[in-house]
């Protein structure tokens, strides 16, 4: 089994995959065996994360043991946890973790001033998207931050956009105002809210829809390609795409898929 780990600022996503033979079949479809999410904590030790992951294996009744993990690959945007997970992988799974970065990118080409600045999750998203569709792509990842990653028709990563995710906006609104409450992000029934909570939800949701649509329109204009595949991923993707017809597909496991493909194709 292959363990792919996506370490984000809010959550850590774990994906178990059956080892694919990518070298003999480039068109192989990679599907996760199981996926779990745990909260990100910079304070946890390698031992604590190992116990958490092994408990998940056990209580999920997967019949997977640590001895069955043949490879571990990681995309991390939380540098303090890199050594923690490298240590955990070495001691508990007896493997050297493979970390995705601009040098370990599966041969992804970059038209970017400093590729080392690009988050590992964005590299995994870009690689997986182009590998899937073999055409110009825009990947919108709705996470703690919302990122737009642009890949041209030749498979080159040309850049993108980073903006605060809607949950960050919701938290900032609460922290910076005296009377506005914390609300859960959801799609409101109407734009005009009939209460403070409904008003905030409407502002967050439709304001964010407008932001995404405008950025997407500008990106497409600059890319100047009539055949661009627009896909979404990330925890909030299903909620946000309901009002956006330009997004053609939601691929929730895209980052994990990219981690596996890059690691197996190296």
Residues involved in catalysis: 121
| Per-position DSSP letters for 226-251, written without gaps between them | S-EEEEEESTTHHHHGGG-TT--EE-
Closest residue by Cα to residue 202 from 178, 233, 231, 169: 169
CA atoms within 13 A on the CB side of 145: 13
112: which residues sit within 8 A by CB, 6+ positions away?
A: 118, 157, 158, 159
CA–CA separation, 88 and 96 (whole Å): 10
- The Cα–Cα gap between 37 and 212 comes to 26
User: Which helix (DSSP H) or strand (DSSP E) does residue 262 occupy?
Assistant: helix 254-264
The enclosing H or E element of 73 equals strand 71-76
Alpha-carbon distances of 157 from 108, 132, 216, 246, rounded to whole Å: 7, 15, 16, 21
């Amino acid at each position: 089994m292959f363990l792919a780990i996506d370490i984000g600022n809010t959550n850590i996503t774990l994906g178990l995959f059956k080892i694919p033979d990518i070298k003999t079949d480039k068109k192989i479809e990679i599907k996760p065996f199981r996926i779990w999410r745990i909260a990100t904590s910079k304070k946890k030790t390698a031992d604590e994360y190992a116990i958490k992951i092994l408990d998940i294996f056990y209580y999920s009744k997967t019949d997977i043991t640590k001895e069955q993990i043949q490879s571990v690959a990681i995309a991390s945007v939380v540098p303090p946890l890199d050594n923690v997970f490298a240590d955990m992988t070495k001691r508990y799974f007896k493997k050297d973790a493979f970390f995705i970065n601009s040098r370990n990118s599966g041969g992804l080409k970059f038209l970017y001033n400093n590729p080392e600045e690009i988050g590992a999750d964005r590299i995994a998203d870009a690689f997986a998207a182009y590998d899937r569709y073999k055409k110009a792509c825009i990947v919108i990842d709705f996470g703690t931050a919302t990122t737009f990653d642009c890949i041209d028709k030749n498979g080159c990563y040309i850049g993108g956009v980073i903006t605060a995710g809607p949950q960050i906006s919701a938290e900032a609104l609460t922290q910076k105002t005296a009377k506005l409450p914390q609300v859960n992000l959801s799609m409101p029934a109407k734009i005009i809210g009939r209460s403070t909570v409904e008003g905030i939800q409407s502002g967050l949701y439709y304001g964010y829809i407008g932001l995404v649509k405008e950025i997407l329109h500008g990106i497409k204009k600059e890319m100047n390609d009539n055949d661009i595949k627009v896909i979404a991923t990330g925890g909030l993707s299903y909620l946000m795409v309901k009002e956006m017809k330009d997004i053609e597909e939601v691929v929730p496991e895209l980052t994990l898929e990219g981690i596996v493909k890059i690691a197996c194709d190296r």
